[in-house]
Structure 1
Amino acid sequence: MRQLLLPILGCILACSACGEPGKLNLFIWSEYIDPKMVKEFEKRFDCKVTIDVYEDAESMLAKIQGGGVSLYDLAVPPDHLVPVMLKLELLAPLRHENIPNLKNLDEKFANPPYDHGNKYTVAYQWGTVGIYARKSADKPIDPTWGLFFDSKHPPGPFVLIDSVRDLVGAALKYKGHPLNSTDPAQLKEARDLVLDAKRRCVGFEGSVGGKNKVLGKTARAAIVYSGEAARGMTDDSETFYFIPKEGSQIWLDNLAVLARAPHRDLAEKFINFILDPAVGAQLSNF
């Protein structure tokens, strides 16, 4: 009797598992996806999407290295981190046959220099790094990175972005140096500017946090990404965003399946879903 019950129990458990909805674990920047899109994906593919968020790329990488590579299915790394994650063997190759909507990817985002042939990543969203600030008739803002790095022309209380690459890059551009400089003297100059600005700022925040400080009027200016600035200007017409006259950078975030993703098939379905033209438009308008 005992021998008969075991196969029956196994069949019951197998059938129960077949009826369970799928799961997808998404690791993404905060405020970076429309909840309505998530609900539509869950409905269409009978699954549950669990979202965990981060505010800076360094935190994302540390958490993935600390065990997240087998916990999360998808992450959204910026362009400059993709080569690092490939070297660390943190990404799984994309099976293009499961992502037919790759044909919808704009030519300028296909075959990027950091991932030839889109073997591991697909473009998610792009934008710029700039300054988000509050208008003032009494004290106009000069469109320069000097708002943060020149102590003689402070805009008022300001927030620095909690991102090494973006903050050091802004300091390098202010001094007229290349964004990707490896020159020790130039990097030391940028470091000194950042340290001086640190003593005068009201704190470090991720892009979302910086935007919220300006909206909450606890800071007049912050270094943010263009997406947060666009949302902030919608919430408060007395705020604005600009690229400093010294120049800045264009960033490109990417969808990537992690090397030990527990739900790889569903992750690739999600990428294909995002590449649908109507869904992509909804994402960009969020």
Structure 2
Amino acid sequence: MGAAMLAASFCFLHGCGKNEEVNVFMYSEYIDPAIVESFEKETGIKVRINTYENSEDMQAKVQRGGGDSQFDVLVVSDVQVPALVTLKLVQPIDMNAVPNAQYVDPQFIKAPYDPEGKFTLPYQWGTVGLIFNKEVIKPEDVSWAAIFDRNQAAGKFILMDSMRDMIGIALKYQGKSMNTKDAKELEAATDLLLAAKKSPNFLAFESGVAGKNRVIANEAVAAIVYNGDAVRDMGKNAAIDFAVPKEGGVIWTDVMMVTSKTKNAANAHKFINYILQPKISAALSNFNRYPTPNREALPMIDKVDLTNPRVYPSKETMQKLDYLTDVGEATGLYDKAWTTLKAR
């Protein structure tokens, strides 16, 4: 009897049942396979990684495709959090089951997108900027004008297939709030994006990963991408660089959440807790080349990244960055603008 009880306790803690699994929904190319393997080895829980390329597709699949029961852990952008909570697609995290949350930098706890700190724990953070060919665009004078001003056009470019990021960047270039609720300002930003789309230099709307790949392959001069995607592969082409343009850009935090109808709640919490181990958080950032939100992981971050302003922005750049926030009822205006942009 004692042996049986010990075995049962071990299985509860480590997940040794034959059907133990955790289903994670995240951006593509966003976790080191070695982390998945080590989690599976240590816990006996099979990790099934499902991927998406933009937030709009993610929310649609979770909301209308039964994703709140199909997936256990969501890794999503901060701007999506209020909608997921309002739609009751996620549940509060049991913080008692995630003791490694103690290592999270305080700025990522009770953040504006989760003011009570109930639903999220941070995964990575970073910026949106421009990956570019520095033989065409000078690194010391990177501007969104390379995309939006035909008189300063540098060559073929790719826009990011992400509604809030693209509209926000257009607003930023025009000197407006990236979170405006003003219909006229949104109309002007849409017109700017339409002009860019109609430019002979426009190639496509792509995910950050796909856009990065096309610039590295010399198919485009510039693309709007996430900083880690760029930094991770820039070494493949010596002519490629990344920067947040001088006008400023987007700063973001991607967070982990537990779905409302998860069938594997305990395993979801174990996965989140594992990611927040300092050594695992450091390994994650060293693989992704994004900044870590884990203060205890910083001493284990590769020094070349800690001193790289493409990864950890300078104070000057940080002052020019803005978070995308929930715009409430104005979301309809953004949806309309994006639909117009894609259709024309």
Same fold flag (TM > 0.5): yes
SS in 2 for 1:124: strand
Instruction: Report the Cα distance in structure 2 between the residues aligned to 1:210 and 1:149, rounded to whole angstroms.
Output: 17
Q: How far apart, in 2, do the equivalents of 1:235 and 1:60 lie?
A: 30
Distance (Å, rounded) in 2 between the aligned partners of 1:139 and 1:122: 38
Instruction: Report the AA paired with residue 83 of structure 2.
Output: V
Select which of 35, 55, 58 maps to 2:56. 58
SS of the residue 2:193 aligns to? helix
Return the offset for 1:18: 7.3
Q: Residue type of the partner of 1:278?
A: K
Distance 1:45 1:193, change over 3 A: same
Code of the aligned partner of 1:172:
L
1:192 is displaced (CA, Å) by: 0.2
In the TM superposition, residue 182 of structure 1 has moved relative to its aligned partner by: 1.3
Cα contact 2:16–2:45 (8 A) shared by 1: no
- Asked if the contact 2:208/2:226 (under 8 Å) is kept, the reply is yes
Q: Report the residue type matching 1:240 in the other structure.
A: D
Q: What CA deviation, in whole Å up to 9, does each residue of 1:77-132 have, x standing for no partner?
A: 11111001101000011111100111011111111122124211101100001000
User: Any unmatched runs of 5+ in structure 1?
Assistant: 1-16
Summarize the alignment of residues 1-286 of structure 1 with structure 2, pairs less than 5 Å apart. Answer: 19-65=17-63, 66-136=65-135, 140=138, 142-200=141-199, 201-286=202-287
Q: Which amino acid aligns with 1:259?
A: S
Q: Decide whether the 8 Å contact of 2:16 with 2:43 is kept in 1.
A: no
Q: What's the offset of the Cα at 1:234?
A: 3.1
What secondary structure, in the 3-state scheme, does the structure 2 residue paired with 1:49 have?
Answer: strand
Distance of aligned partners of 1:139 and 1:62 in 2 relative to their CA distance in 1, 3 Å threshold = closer
Contact 2:133 2:222 in 1 (8 A): yes
Count the aligned residue pairs.
269
1:140: how far off? 3.6
Question: Partner of 1:177: helix, strand, or coil?
Answer: coil
CA distance in 2, matches of 1:232, 1:176: 31
Amino acid paired to 2:230: A
Output the CA distance in 2 between the equivalents of 1:132 and 1:87.
35
Aligned equivalents of 2:114 and 2:87: distance in 1?
15
CA contact (8 A) 2:128 2:251 kept: yes
Three-state SS of the structure 2 residue aligned to 1:190 is: helix
Q: For residue 19 of structure 1, report the CA deviation from its aligned partner.
A: 4.2
Amino acid corresponding to residue 121 of structure 2 in structure 1: V
Instruction: Write the distance in 2 (CA, Å) between the matches of 1:122 and 1:249.
Output: 20
What's the secondary structure of 2:151's corresponding residue?
A: coil
Following the alignment from structure 1 to structure 2, what is the Cα–Cα distance between the partners of residues 117 and 97? 16
Whether the 8 Å contact between 1:30 and 1:53 is mirrored in structure 2 is yes
Residue-by-residue CA offset, 1:114-159 (whole Å, 9 max, x unaligned) = 21242111011000010001121x6646411111111121111100
Q: Secondary structure at the match of 2:29?
A: coil
CA contact (8 A) 1:21 1:46 kept: no
Structure 1 residues 29-82: Cα deviation after superposition (integer angstroms, max 9, x where no partner): 011100000000001110211111111010100111121111011111111110
Instruction: Provide the rounded CA distance (Å) in 1 between the counterparts of 2:55 and 2:255.
Output: 12
Of all paired residues, the percent bearing the same amino acid is 43
Structure 2-normalised TM-score? Answer: 0.76
CA contact (8 A) 1:79 1:254 kept: yes
Letter in 2 for 1:29: Y
CA gap of 1:128–1:18, structure 2 versus 1, over 3 A, is: closer
SS of the residue 1:20 aligns to:
coil
The answer to whether the 8 A contact 1:132-1:211 is kept is yes
CA–CA distance in structure 1, aligned partners of residues 214 and 125 of structure 2: 23
Greater relative contact order (CA < 8 Å, ≥ 6 in sequence): 1
Could you tell me whether the CA contact under 8 Å between 1:76 and 1:253 is conserved in 2? Answer: yes
Q: Secondary structure at the match of 2:262?
A: coil
Task: Kindly report structure 1 stretches of 4+ aligned residues shifted beyond 6 Å.
Answer: none
Quote the Cα distance in structure 2 between the aligned partners of 1:19 and 1:147.
55
* Compared CA separation, residues 230 and 220, structure 1 to 2 (3 A): same
Contact (CA 8 Å) 1:232, 1:239: kept in 2 or not? Answer: no
Counterpart position of 1:12: none
TM-score when normalising by structure 1: 0.91
Question: d(CA) in 2 for partners of 1:18 and 1:179?
Answer: 47
Query: What is the distance in 2 between the residues matched to 1:237 and 1:41?
Result: 35
